[in-house]
Amino acid sequence: MAVTRKIIHIDCDCFYASVEMRDNPALREVPLAIGGAADRRGVIATCNYVARKYGVRSAMSTFRAQQLCPTLVLLPADFARYREASQHIRRIFADFTSMIEPLSLDEAYLDVTGLPHCQGSATRMAEAIRARIEAEVGITASAGIAPNKLLAKIASDWNKPNGQFLIRPEDVEAFMLALPAARLWGVGKVTAEKLKRLGVESCADLQRWPLSRLVQEFGRFGEQLYEQCRGLDHRVVAPDERRKSLSVENTYAQDLPDLAACLAELPELYEDWQRRMSRAEGYVPHKAFVKIKYADFSQTTMECLSFAPTLDTFSRLLHEAFPRGQQAVRLLGVGVRFHDEPDAPLQMSLW
């Protein structure tokens, strides 16, 4: 008989902004965001809940955020302090389990199956972890408790901020029927809009679709949708699993007509990539790449050796890759591939 897992997903509340408010209490009552300057096509990394009342959101352009909230206090990221807080939180996790899979500086999966802490209650463990984060680090965190990673991550967002939510195995079927399809992993704005056009708004709607039709409409991702909408996730918490790459991409509402339009979008993608890369401690880039998906859904990737790619690196790759399609572009992505081993020797960039 298979063991029912007990998975906790911990997600700190507006992490960067919380550290700033902890160190400067005067910021707690004002709309606050961490991000790049608007005149450099900056992007909001995170913001506090006061700013969110104005409609400010992560990944929004700083220019747009300041339009929505003219009184927005904008601070640059201070990753040294954020990493210090993250390392303290990791030590707290380690007091409860060795099965920790970090996703970023401020969130992680914990497998607490069969462990004795808090009388074996995953719910009480999550409460204890959150209480220690608040007492020792000075910020709040939310938690989701569930039998798999998919559900735990969904649950951690359910009672934010500073809350937690439990999905028991016997609750999964009813919970999934009512869950909006847009809450599933990998369903971004574009996929959500496509699902809505196809008459799918809830996981109950999605469950009526046969696997063959999902694959026809969404390719291999259709297989994931088939399982996700039923609350199924077979992934294990993998403490030693290392990323093979880190990238960001954007599908545009209107196709980018030419190379110049693509190059104009590159700084925002690059800044988003830099923000995510800053969280990937211990990873050494080996190759940089640009991904292009054209209007006809054909795609190409151009890469080069580089251990520290700059905006110019990605610009050169885009210049080389774009002529392969000679048509409008619907998706752009930038990223890096990592060494298989963390201490592998570095290969200098060709540029």
Q: What is the pLDDT of residue 346?
A: 32
Instruction: Give me the CATH number covering residue 54.
Output: 3.40.1170.60
> Which pLDDT belongs to residue 1?
55
β-sheet bridge partners, residue 164 = 143
pLDDT at 296 over 90: no
Place of tokens 């599908």: 251
Which one-letter DSSP state was computed for residue 298?
-
Clarify whether residues 249 and 334 are in a common domain. Answer: yes
Would you give the DSSP letter of residue 238? Answer: -
Tell me whether residue 11 is annotated as binding.
Answer: yes
In a domain, 349, yes or no: no
Averaged pLDDT, 288-295 = 93
Specify the amino acid at residue 123: T
* pLDDT above 70: residue 231: yes
Are 3 and 109 in contact, with CB atoms under 8 Å apart? no
Q: Is residue 328 part of a domain?
A: yes
Quick one: 127 and 150 in the same domain?
yes
Annotated catalytic residue: which of 107, 127, 303, 341? 107
pLDDT of residue 20: 97
Shared domain check, 155 and 116: yes
Domain count for the chain, please give it.
4
148 shares a domain with 119 = yes
Name which residue leads in pLDDT, 103 or 74: 74
Residue 279 confidence (pLDDT) above 90:
no
* Section 183-187 average pLDDT: 87
Please check if 23 is assigned to a binding site: no
Q: For this structure, is 217 an active site residue? A: no
Residue 237 placed within a domain? no
Q: Is the residue at 343 inside a domain? A: no
Of 276 and 310, the one with more pLDDT: 310
* 131 part of a folded domain: yes
In a domain, residue 348? The reply is no
- pLDDT tens figures, 132-174: 999 999 999 999 999 999 999 999 999 999 999 999 999 999 9
300: left (phi over 0), alpha (psi -120 to 50) or beta: beta
Q: Please tell me whether residues 119 and 162 are part of one structural domain.
A: yes
Residues 325 and 260 in one domain: yes
What's the CATH code of the domain at 305?
3.30.1490.100
Asked if residue 156 belongs to a domain, the reply is yes
Question: Is residue 290 situated within a structural domain?
Answer: yes
Domain that holds residue 184: 173-228
More confident position, 227 or 306: 227
| Cβ count within 10 A of residue 211 | 12
Same domain, 255 and 332: yes
Q: Domain holding 110: CATH number?
A: 3.30.70.270
Mean pLDDT of 219-240: 89
Chain segment 322-349, per-residue pLDDT in tens: 999 889 998 999 999 986 543 333 333 2
| pLDDT on residue 342 | 39
Share of the chain above pLDDT 70, in %: 93
Query: Among all chains, which residue has been given the structure tokens 């110019």?
Result: 312
pLDDT over 80 (residue 188)? no
Q: What is the tens place of the pLDDT at every residue in 299-328?
A: 899 999 887 888 989 999 999 999 998 899
Q: Are residues 262 and 330 in the same domain?
A: yes
How do 100-104 and 245-256 pair as beta strands? unpaired
